[in-house]
A and B are shown apart, each in its own frame.
Chain A
Amino acid sequence: MIVDIGIVAIKAFLVLFMVLNLAGLLGWVERKGSALIQDRIGANRASIFGFAGMGLVNTLIADPLKFLTKEDFVPPSGDRFLHTLAPCLALFPALVTFAVIPFGDVLYLGDRVINLQVANLNVGILYIFAMGSLGVYGLVIGAWASNNKFSLLGGVRGSAQMISYEVALGLSVIGILMVYGTLELQEIARGQGALLRELLPESAGFLRATVGWLPAWGIFLQPVAFLLFFTAAVAETKRIPFDLPEAESELVAGSHVEYSGGKFLMFFAGEFAEIVTAAGLMTTLFFGGWQVPYLMRDGFHFPWGASILLPHVAVVLLQVGAFTFKVLFFCWLQILLRWTVPRFRYDQVMRLGWKMLLPVALVNVMITALVVLYMQHNP
């Protein structure tokens, strides 16, 4: 009993630790990466005993310290209680969402079977959407409580944008749920361990011969859904090209104009934690989660017949490593995107969400449903 609670606590601590630290590291990646893209040197000022470490010291230690020692300013005509509550509301959903994302298969430790996932809910993906839908409160409440017209405009834009893209985000995942037939993220990740030729019917001989060797990852079965999901997820994190709530050329800093010090740091950390969570979701739904291609529970089994047997610990380490690598890749991709494309105009954001993503997502759901139905009747 005590040991079970301890294991859950350790898993929860590890995941929280990893998400928060990755959020901090991404701050460095963002500053240094933007400098690289814009041909600057970037953050390199802070040093500890002469060690600047590519500015890493800077972002990991100096930046948070600087934020925390700044004056915490609440607008005199603003709402003090809600102004303080908003950053907590912004950080909370971003941190708890990762609880249902599996970071590995099962670990056998003695006679214990440890599921490498903090919480295995049978409504998994719905929990993520429920928590994601709460993310808008931090923005809206913070904007309103500041009593500033720029922040209010940012808050109104943000709430409209997030509600619009939640629809596309939810519908894009329906295809994945139909293909793997479950809401549980661990089961979705396990379903992606098969090869395509095990899923394709006998009649599709040509397809089985040509692409049958590919793993049955979401990206191969639902490529359109991935594009929709990626777009909607970037819109949900409110970053360029969808950073209309804080468009600095129009709204100063939009919804967090009136935030400074530690409260601004919480908004900042919340944004990066959202990036990590979005990357974790993309990995789990479309890129096999912790799956390494051809790696089964006892080692590699290649489609051409060769196999390499590995001990259990090595397999688990490879899986967790693969998950981490994929998550880091998608975090990097999102940061690269921010420094590559310009910002949309507000009407373009709304048109993209409602008139392009939503119909494409609906058509994708229809086609997937028909194919799944056909495959069930012609195995």
Chain B
Amino acid sequence: MNGAQVGFFILAGLLIVSSLWVVFQRNVVHSAMALVAALFLVAILFLTLNAPMVGVLQILVYAGAIMVLFLFVIMFLNPIGLEQRRRLWWGFGALAGLLLAGALVPVLTNGDAPRDPVVATELFGGPEELARSLFTDFVLPFEIASILLLVAIVGAVVLAKREP
């Protein structure tokens, strides 16, 4: 095991712990903070995979903006006491977990020697490379995604501003 692998296993271990913390924590604010930690760790994983742009955007968008809005809403609603256990959700959760396991087990047990995923140059994952592919090969999906987001924003404003 070389240094990069040791780093990966430490990161992955912390990531699993913080993700479990998100699920099993009864206090919603603690749960949200654990999710921030998980997103931060995923960003570091991206950094170790030579994709600093994706890593930084992960922090900027998810940890820095979306989770702050989550917290904002939690603080506004201020749920008194702790989240109650819900039996029905456990059923859904178990089903989703089984499906995911069904998809993951064949991948993990297929016996092929794992390839080193990082065969990339210095430029791979940098801002120039990302921008070039976004604005040449993927310009149509990129624009469609922007329009989708715009529609969502306009929809939210219309719903919020609706006359009683």
Contact = CB atoms under 8 A, between A and B. Distances in A.
Interface of A: 79, 81-82, 85, 121-123, 126-127, 129-134, 136-137, 140-141, 143-145, 152, 155-156, 159-160, 162-163, 166, 183
B69 interface: yes
18 contacts: A79-B27, A121-B52, A122-B52, A123-B56, A129-B60, A130-B57, A130-B59, A130-B63, A131-B59, A132-B64, A134-B63, A140-B75, A144-B29, A144-B71, A156-B76, A159-B75, A160-B72, A183-B127
Contacts of A134: 59, 63-64
B68 A163 contact: yes
Contacts of A163: 65, 68-69, 72
Given A82-B29, A141-B29, A155-B75, A126 B63 contact: no
Dominant secondary structure of chain A at its interface with chain B: helix
Interface string B62-82: 011100110110011010000
Interface in B10-61: 27, 29-30, 33, 36, 52-53, 56-57, 59-60
A189 B10 CA distance: 37
A163 B63 CA distance: 12
B97 interface: no
A159 B68 contact: yes
A264 to B, nearest CB: 21
Contact of A133 (B59, B71, B75, B127): B59
A126 B65 contact: no
B151 to A, nearest CB: 19
A85 B32 CA distance: 14
A133 B53 contact: no
B51 to A, nearest CB: 10
Contacts of A156: 72, 75-76
B7 interface: no
B155 interface: no
- 7 closest Cβ pairs, A-B complex: A133-B64, A130-B59, A130-B60, A126-B56, A130-B56, A123-B56, A122-B126
B65 A123 contact: no
Contacts of A130: 56-57, 59-60, 63-64
Contact of B71 (A121, A131, A132, A140): A140
Interface residues of B, number: 23
Most buried by B among A141, A145, A155: A141
B29 A79 contact: yes
Contacts of A141: 29, 33, 71
B65 A133 contact: yes
B122 to A, nearest CB: 9
A182 to B, nearest CB: 9
Given A82-B29, A122-B127, A152 B75 contact: yes
Given A130-B57, A156-B76, A159-B72, 19 more contacts: A122-B127, A123-B53, A130-B64, A133-B64, A133-B68, A134-B59, A134-B63, A136-B64, A137-B33, A140-B68, A141-B33, A141-B71, A144-B75, A152-B75, A156-B72, A159-B68, A160-B72, A162-B68, A166-B65
A155 B73 CA distance: 12
A146 to B, nearest CB: 12
A166 B36 CA distance: 18
Nearest to A163: B68
Contacts of A132: 64
A126 B43 CA distance: 13
Contacts of B56: 123, 126-127, 130
A155 B74 CA distance: 12
A126 B29 contact: no
Contacts of B60: 126, 129-130, 133
Contacts of B33: 82, 85, 137, 141
Contacts of B29: 79, 82, 141, 144-145
Given A141-B33, A156-B72, A156-B76, A126 B57 contact: yes
A141 B37 CA distance: 14
B95 to A, nearest CB: 33
Given A82-B29, A123-B53, A141-B33, A159 B127 contact: no
B87 to A, nearest CB: 28
A263 to B, nearest CB: 17
A159 B53 contact: no
Contacts of B63: 130, 133-134
Contact of A123 (B27, B30, B64, B127): B127
